[in-house]
Structure 1
């Protein structure tokens, strides 16, 4: 399970924390935080990026957004300390443009998104994100709505196989889904260990490889929280709210997220090849972004040594042009959705 980083250090809220923001220096450079302005931290977490943005310029202000109630509660001390320079809003980053306008800002100077689950969520067994420590099979970032246990115990075999394969990139998705169905007939799944042990009995762990349950847990977490759909909505929301010259910086942790961000910037900077498999030919439109990075920026060896969870991080960034925002890209919307199998269309599989 990939997280945004962990380790000892000074916390953004004024005390020690195990959360370390990934690619912090690179994010600040791409955002150009030293120029001063209004920024949105769409994945506030423990406030690592927010603290760095605030510290970079005396006139910097931040709207911090997080869908996790624990993150919002944990940031109250920082809000009090920074007074009017930080507003913390519970919500989804897919709505970041409407959240900004509700706070009185028709445009902003920068948006940063750190996609995926945070270290605090991974490390708290009661949240059910990780198989490393036994806990309830939950995974809900907002702590409400259907949980991972609901999904595992109520979905059809075809639906589970699609989630494990397309969101988790698990090659043995069908075998795992079949075993889940057979097992839950005897006893419903309630804990992370129940599911992890079942998967480990089916998939052999390679020497020095990831835990056999890693990909299945990733797929479930993405499905429970609609993470890829939120990412797609956030990219388009950032396009709408950024002023000309404003920066969009996105840090991803696995190939599904990075593929969406890469395709978005490819189209919006005018670099996408026409008629590609994912990006069908459309009428040429004026680019809405200029590329800041010509490829993904990854962590240094030193950062990986300090924080192993940073090893898969990739940063991509663009600067907003003065072209009007375009309609949402159906091509990347499709990348965020499960394919419609025959069973889920109402037919026979």
Structure 2
């Protein structure tokens, strides 16, 4: 059984790792040139029932705990004047909640757990053609080709595999603009103190100025705005961003001014929470390829759980991959539907005109619940 995994993100690598633990080989085709080709983003909070469970299935709990930051769960929520609305402090040193880990560190942890030849770098899937007798012929940009018996799309929001199963479309739900601040303790100690060891949310009317402390001592700044028709390039200048936050405390907008590089904007997209497809032999999807959701804390966690659960089904009966895929899909659809609906509600709440009041009520009602940060 030749298994091809399109995409070397957290979901695809978790799938490959759990398969490897069961003695099943797979090839991961990844479009990036190498593991260090680009930044993997900020910190990720791993949930016990999903991301942490997947790492346990992968046999990597010990390594995860050696790299994770329980203190990163701390959350401070401020209003535009800089007044504290909520301050959530986790139990020191406890892994019972949702400890944070750098996305790049987590990806390296998974990569290092696999045989060196598992990931084929610089392989962007261009087309997958079903074979008459089963399986697929794979064509990659630049000319390389390969074949497989089972194809798993783990290739993210703009999946090339998805169209073989469903015509589900993506729609914009928000605009996110990111900046980074390096070596914050030395260069910007006042901002390091403002953000603290975890996450900072400054919430206004239909806009959020957020910051996240990274494991390397830097700060990742994110600006969330409602989706609109404004050209994305309009958000590439600091002056335009400062105008959006006109009237806010200079203590908060200093996070924008301190950014080391030009702002990086992108559209945040999601697929309908009801997305599913009719089973087809030898092919399925995991992660954002299967259920693209707003980034409110579930996406990466559910992708990793997808990978672990699909691997377990394939390992339970490797002679009948179609039955394994069918069982995985039915369980995944049932699990994801309410999570996708919840993620859409949280996204809408966070950018609503009444966001500050709604979020304070949310955390006051559930004071021990960790922040839903992705």
For normalisation by structure 2, the TM-score amounts to: 0.28
For normalisation by structure 1, the TM-score amounts to: 0.30
Q: Which has the higher strand share?
A: 2
